[in-house]
């Protein structure tokens, strides 16, 4: 799926050598391969999920864990991963992240139960939280000249944008002509190539100074988010008023409140709260969370709709999902040109309205909906809206941020999108399951009714997704006050 591209959580510190590394372009190729692997994993698994669910006997209530187990650990540990890369060594962290990601992919590809697949996805997220910030930090160290750095980040950003499209097609090919398991196992040869190339080509670097980590903060925030998502899952199974549902949601809220207390008292907080308290950045993070919540869940149900309702093959489903990515790439280019002229707020509000309109169009689906006349334009409009949203978000996250907070500010933006996606996927899956059950409760449960019940569930999920994206637009309208002049001269360098 599309994602924002941001600066490294570990930008080079004062005293870092500015002499260009002689093999920096070869190192860029290695880092690009690792980025492609991480980006592929977001979309390639979506296409495989219907077959994985059937093969492993995963329930409708639990299937969202294939997505959320990854995004929760990735988003929850991303800031800690950036700190580890800075102080433990960026190359060392990169290599460990690569090996761990490949091993977790092997476990997932060979999983015999849903629980083992969920655990493997969580491990992938944890190692991805090491790999992603280490990759970005290495780029900032390798490319010290402004023009070269811009080119390097353009390559990185192109992979971040285009890799999701590659994942959709590759996921379809592997699932249809090999097995869904290869959507995970394919990471092993990719990681092996990158690993053996990285050892001689990528230089080691690390930050100096105090190297303490906020491990309690990372553990508590991740546990809180997992508890919330599990509470949403229990709501799908037992109802919102069930004791277990209330207990897990309450525990999640309490743990997140404890995380705030830990950050306020920590001398080296995982997330300096001063970053959140700025009105514009706070608004950007809230909008990012809400857009992620609406978007991740929508992609999950679009995949199931294509393959289960319209009977598309996995490859056809992957190709049918490409219009969203195409829309994002087109509007992101336009938004980059318009941002200095009109500012962030108009683009983000327009983007939210467009994306929500595309999502609302998807609520009009049925068992025989035309792809060309309905699904194609709906996805293009959704993608156009997302592109107009993502580009300003990346800039807003860094407006007026002191240099020493730039990495944390941009990593927080990525984390909010992943966390929003986790919560949104779980929430929308709960609404889907509940609405299907309610639909069938008043009808004879024959095959025709069950097919229509699934359609009803998809439309409910898409409607809630549209609502979350509109809420992101409303948050932008009320909270974002930054002027276009501030974006051009913000206090931090934006690379994305």
In the chain (496 residues long), the average pLDDT of successive 10-residue segments reads 45 50 83 84 87 94 91 87 84 94 96 96 93 83 77 74 81 93 94 92 75 82 90 88 94 94 87 84 91 87 94 94 90 86 91 96 95 96 92 78 69 85 91 93 85 95 96 93 61 34
- Report the alpha-carbon distance of residue 42 to residue 451 in Å, rounded: 28
Q: What is the DSSP letter of 209?
A: S
What pLDDT was estimated at residue 403? 62
- Report the alpha-carbon distance of residue 398 to residue 411 in Å, rounded: 10
Torsion of Cα atoms, 69 then 74 then 77 then 78, to 10°: -170
Confirm if 313 and 441 have CB atoms less than 8 A apart.
no
Q: What is the pTM of this model?
A: 0.85
- Report the alpha-carbon distance of residue 412 to residue 381 in Å, rounded: 27
Task: Give the chain's length.
Answer: 496
What pLDDT was estimated at residue 375? 96
What pLDDT was estimated at residue 347? 93
What pLDDT was estimated at residue 474? 96
Confirm if 333 and 392 have CB atoms less than 8 A apart.
no
- Report the alpha-carbon distance of residue 355 to residue 365 in Å, rounded: 17
Helix (H, G, I), strand (E, B) or coil at 9: coil
Report the candidate in 249, 31, 244, 30 with the shortest Cα–Cα distance to residue 132. Answer: 31
Report the candidate in 282, 312, 494, 337 with the shortest Cα–Cα distance to residue 406. Answer: 494
- Residue 284 tokens read as 């950007």
What pLDDT was estimated at residue 83? 82
């Amino acid at each position: 799926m599309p994602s924002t591209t941001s600066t490294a959580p570990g930008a080079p510190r004062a005293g870092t050598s500015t002499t260009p590394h002689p093999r920096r372009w070869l190192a860029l190729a290695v880092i690009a391969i690792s980025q492609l692997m991480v980006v592929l994993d977001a979309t390639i698994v979506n296409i495989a999920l219907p077959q994985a669910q059937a093969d492993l006997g995963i329930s409708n209530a639990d299937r969202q864990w294939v997505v959320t187990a990854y995004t929760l650990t990735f988003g929850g540990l991303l800031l800690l991963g950036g700190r580890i890369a800075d102080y433990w060594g960026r190359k060392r962290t990169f290599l460990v992240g690569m090996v761990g990601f490949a091993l977790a992919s092997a476990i997932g590809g060979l999983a015999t139960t849903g629980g083992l697949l969920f655990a493997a996805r969580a491990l992938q997220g944890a190692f991805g939280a090491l790999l992603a910030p280490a990759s970005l930090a290495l780029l900032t160290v390798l490319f010290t000249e402004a023009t070269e750095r811009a080119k390097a980040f353009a390559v990185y950003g192109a992979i971040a944008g285009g890799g999701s499209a590659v994942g959709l097609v590759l996921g379809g090919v592997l699932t249809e002509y090999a097995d869904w398991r290869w959507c995970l196992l394919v990471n092993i040869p990719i990681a092996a190539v990158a690993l053996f190339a990285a050892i001689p080509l990528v230089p080691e670097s690390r930050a100096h100074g105090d190297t303490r980590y906020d491990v309690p903060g990372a553990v508590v925030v991740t546990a809180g988010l997992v508890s919330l998502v599990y509470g949403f899952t229990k709501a799908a199974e037992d109802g919102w008023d069930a004791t277990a549902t209330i207990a897990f949601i309450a525990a999640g809220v309490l743990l997140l409140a404890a995380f705030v207390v830990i950050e306020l008292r920590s001398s080296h907080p995982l997330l300096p709260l001063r970053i959140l308290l700025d009105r514009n950045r706070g608004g950007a993070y809230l909008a990012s969370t809400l857009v992620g919540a609406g978007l991740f869940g929508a992609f999950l149900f679009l995949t199931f709709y294509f393959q289960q309702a319209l009977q598309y093959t996995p490859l056809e489903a992957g190709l049918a999902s490409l219009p969203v990515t195409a829309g994002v790439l087109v509007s992101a280019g336009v938004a980059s040109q318009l941002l200095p002229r009109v500012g962030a707020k108009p683009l983000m509000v327009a983007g939210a309205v467009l994306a929500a309109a595309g999502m609302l169009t998807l609520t009009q689906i049925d068992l025989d909906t035309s792809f060309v006349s309905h699904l194609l334009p709906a996805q293009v409009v959704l993608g156009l809206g997302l592109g107009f949203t993502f580009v300003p978000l990346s800039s807003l996250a860094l407006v007026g941020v002191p240099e020493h907070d730039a990495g944390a500010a941009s990593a927080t933006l990525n984390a909010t999108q992943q966390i929003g996606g986790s919560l949104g996927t779980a929430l929308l899956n709960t609404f889907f399951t509940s609405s299907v059950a309610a639909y069938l409760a008043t009808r004879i449960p024959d095959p025709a009714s069950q097919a229509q019940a699934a359609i009803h569930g998809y439309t409910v999920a898409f409607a809630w997704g549209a609502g979350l994206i509109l809420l992101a637009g409303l948050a932008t309208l009320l909270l974002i006050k930054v002027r276009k002049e501030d974006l051009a001269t913000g206090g931090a360098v934006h690379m994305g």
